[in-house]
Structure 1
Amino acid sequence: MRVAVRRWLAAHPQPDELTVAVSGGADSLALCSAALLEARGRIAVHAVTVDHQLQEGSAQRAEAVSLWAVDAGCASAQVVTVDVGTRGGPEAAARDARYSALRQVGRGDVLLGHTLDDQAESVLLGLGRGSGRRSLQGMAPYDAPWGRPLLGTRRAQTRQYCADLQLPVWDDPHNDDPRFTRVRLRRQALPLLEEILGGGVAEALARTAGQLREDDPRADVAAILELVGAVQLDAKTLARFTEGTRRAVIKQWLDDRLGGPCTSAHVVAVDGLVARYRGQGPVYLPGGSRVIRERGRISHAPADSSGRAAPRTRPT
């Protein structure tokens, strides 16, 4: 635990404080304990416990966890009570409420106790749902303000750590409730895959996530946008790139202009203006705007107040 936290802190230096999300489970207790030991004398460690109000006695449990954090040496510890909605199902709603609360009260980066097992479950869930490359990348070790030092650590190791140090682990009953998809993946799907494939499945899934993250072409999108023109795209220059790279650049360019994600159909259509131009007309986008090609430049004509695309402006 301590080595994992030490390496994470070395890779992502903290100014003078950080926050650990502490639920009372083995993963978060181990993370908080190791963070306190590794940050001692250098960084103030704060603890936040989120009470989702989904179980009887949750308030008392959250308060007990907060008291433990103070006794363990945290600079501060607080309980945040949230109202969990229904959007996206119970798991997603609880996660959204938790992340929102942590973002509001966290001091510095917020460390989360996700382990290699959690990473494997995320990748398998994304694979089963056909969610695409981004989901298969799983969780990032650092995605400000979120830090996950234990992504290379097994869940069994956090439990052993807590047992060795006699930390008061609380096992959330929801983690054994088969109503939740992740529980069924954890208790049924992954063990079966381990048996069929002879072990090492969780590590392989986590390794796949890391490889996809390292090879992610989005890391170069911003640089390519600068090269081809962030406002009006130089079609001839952009057309020299591979189809996958072109479309990644076009998608980012459209997302920036639409203020939200666009569909793959729009990306393909705009790519046609870039790489397969035969004099075709504009590509119409949601909200009444359009993308046009003139004199080798790809530009976006936003909609006016009536919802129609603004008149074309000839490049000078």
Structure 2
Amino acid sequence: MPWTPLHSQLHQCLIDRQLLPIGTNILIAVSGGQDSLCLGQLLRDLQNRWQWQLAVAHCDHGWAQDVGIADRVAQVAARWQLPFHCETTANLPETDGAAREWRYSALVRIAQATNSTQIVTAHTQTDRAETLLYNLVRGAGADGLCALSWQRQLTAEIGLVRPLLAVNRAQTGDFCREYQLPVWEDDYNQNLKYARNRLRLEIMPQLAADFNPQVESHLARTAELVRADVEYLESLATDWYQQALDLEGVRLDRLILAPLALSLQRRVIRQFLAQALSKMPTFTQIEATISLIDAPNRTRTSTFSDGLAAEVAGKWIVVARSDRLSINI
């Protein structure tokens, strides 16, 4: 098959961003849809240039609409002459969140079994734009508007890479047709009872028609710009968090936090509460703890999860069980 502009685009992206170094052991997550088939074909075509070790992974949710997909992906992997690995589950709730959490845990297990150091998924510019808009209407802050990163660590040894974030879904569709790849059309993706599908099938096309034909690329660019800002702020917050944390790692020095900008205070407090609570802190919990920075001694928040609360103890902010606060502090 011919070398296409998409091959060149991905090849240059990998060079510029140093996403998948020469000789990397890569696990390609293939759902059977057009984006993942496009990615798999591209990586297979580039394999010799980059000397990668490639394998294909598929996650079968055990849902009725998934019957037959795994066999189709196995056939494509055989066409690519790549090892194929599949994990299947049962009784998985038919929600995006549950499916995503299980898929990533399954992919990590497969990566560990195959000695893969990078898991590659086919999230595109289109996904990035939709995710930004979806998170915006849900009330997400700047972190939610980052909307998919090029890479991140899943474990100490295994990374996640999304090399198609500058490629849109129209491009992957054209590529699959040119290469005659057997795309699986998932009925789930057409069901308008799911918010993401309504966003993709109704709202995004309407925005493009009524406001800006380039809305997708502009939203994706916004996500890229916001991510750079968020990464900078988060690194600053981590430095201040380490300075404000006591030697035992259980108290924050509010005198150090007081002069900081509110955006940094929020991030430091979030990092602190994330270590203390069993769940990620909510916006309300973070704001309540921030109010303690300038509060009188012994001021306390309402109870968080697990019976915990935060309290002012001299220059410190302490998180402990609410029935033990104000005792031996």
Q: TM-score range by the shorter chain?
A: 0.7 to 0.9
Q: Secondary structure at the match of 1:152?
A: coil
Asked if the contact 1:48/1:78 (under 8 Å) is kept, the reply is: yes
Select 2:102's aligned residue among 88, 91, 97: 97
1:30 matched to 2:43? The reply is: no
Task: Give the distance between the partners of 2:190 and 2:300, measured in 1 at CA.
Answer: 54
Relative distance call for 1:194 and 1:259 in structure 2 (3 A) is: same
Task: Give the distance between the partners of 1:151 and 1:170, measured in 2 at CA.
Answer: 21
Q: How does 1:261-272 map to 2 (within 5 A)?
A: 261-272=280-291
Give the corresponding residue for 1:19.
Answer: 27
Task: Give the distance between the partners of 2:298 and 2:189, measured in 1 at CA.
Answer: 55
CA RMSD of aligned residues (A): 2.5
Asked if the contact 2:244/2:256 (under 8 Å) is kept, the reply is: yes
Select 1:281's aligned residue among 299, 304, 323: 299
Q: How does 1:199-238 map to 2 (within 5 A)?
A: 199-216=213-230, 217-229=233-245, 231=249, 232-238=251-257
Give the corresponding residue for 2:13.
Answer: 7
1:46 matched to 2:55? The reply is: yes
Asked if the contact 1:266/1:285 (under 8 Å) is kept, the reply is: no
Deviation at 1:44, TM superposition (A): 0.7
Relative distance call for 1:265 and 1:27 in structure 2 (3 A) is: closer
The TM-score, its normalising length taken from structure 2, stands at 0.83
> Amino acid of the residue matched to residue 263 of structure 1?
T
Q: Secondary structure at the match of 1:20?
A: strand
Q: Secondary structure at the match of 2:264?
A: helix
Deviation at 1:84, TM superposition (A): 4.8
**% of aligned pairs identical?**
26
> Amino acid of the residue matched to residue 257 of structure 1?
A
Asked if the contact 1:26/1:158 (under 8 Å) is kept, the reply is: yes
Select 2:273's aligned residue among 237, 243, 254: 254
Task: Give the distance between the partners of 2:205 and 2:90, measured in 1 at CA.
Answer: 34
Task: Give the distance between the partners of 1:25 and 1:269, measured in 2 at CA.
Answer: 44
Task: Give the distance between the partners of 1:123 and 1:268, measured in 2 at CA.
Answer: 24
Select 2:86's aligned residue among 68, 79, 96: 79
Q: How does 1:179-194 map to 2 (within 5 A)?
A: 179-194=193-208
Task: Give the distance between the partners of 1:72 and 1:49, measured in 2 at CA.
Answer: 15
Select 2:169's aligned residue among 128, 138, 155: 155
Asked if the contact 2:152/2:161 (under 8 Å) is kept, the reply is: yes
Give the number of equivalent residue pairs: 305
Give the corresponding residue for 1:308.
Answer: 323
Relative distance call for 1:246 and 1:187 in structure 2 (3 A) is: same
Task: Give the distance between the partners of 2:186 and 2:193, measured in 1 at CA.
Answer: 14
Q: Secondary structure at the match of 1:160?
A: helix
Q: How does 1:114-125 map to 2 (within 5 A)?
A: 114-125=123-134
> Amino acid of the residue matched to residue 18 of structure 1?
I
1:67 matched to 2:75? The reply is: yes
Task: Give the distance between the partners of 1:91 and 1:268, measured in 2 at CA.
Answer: 29
Asked if the contact 2:298/2:326 (under 8 Å) is kept, the reply is: no
1:133 matched to 2:142? The reply is: yes
Task: Give the distance between the partners of 2:68 and 2:277, measured in 1 at CA.
Answer: 46
Q: Secondary structure at the match of 2:291?
A: helix
Summarize deviations over 1:167-213 as a string: whole Å, max 9, x none.
Answer: 22222232223233222222211111111113111111111211221
Q: Secondary structure at the match of 2:84?
A: strand
Asked if the contact 1:82/1:101 (under 8 Å) is kept, the reply is: no
Give the corresponding residue for 2:3.
Answer: none
> Amino acid of the residue matched to residue 195 of structure 1?
A
> Amino acid of the residue matched to residue 188 of structure 2?
H
Deviation at 1:54, TM superposition (A): 2.5
Summarize deviations over 1:111-165 as a string: whole Å, max 9, x none.
Answer: 1111111111111111222233332221111122321111110111111222222
The TM-score, its normalising length taken from structure 1, stands at 0.86
Task: Give the distance between the partners of 2:295 and 2:192, measured in 1 at CA.
Answer: 53
Task: Give the distance between the partners of 1:288 and 1:210, measured in 2 at CA.
Answer: 39
> Amino acid of the residue matched to residue 185 of structure 1?
L
Give the corresponding residue for 1:146.
Answer: 160
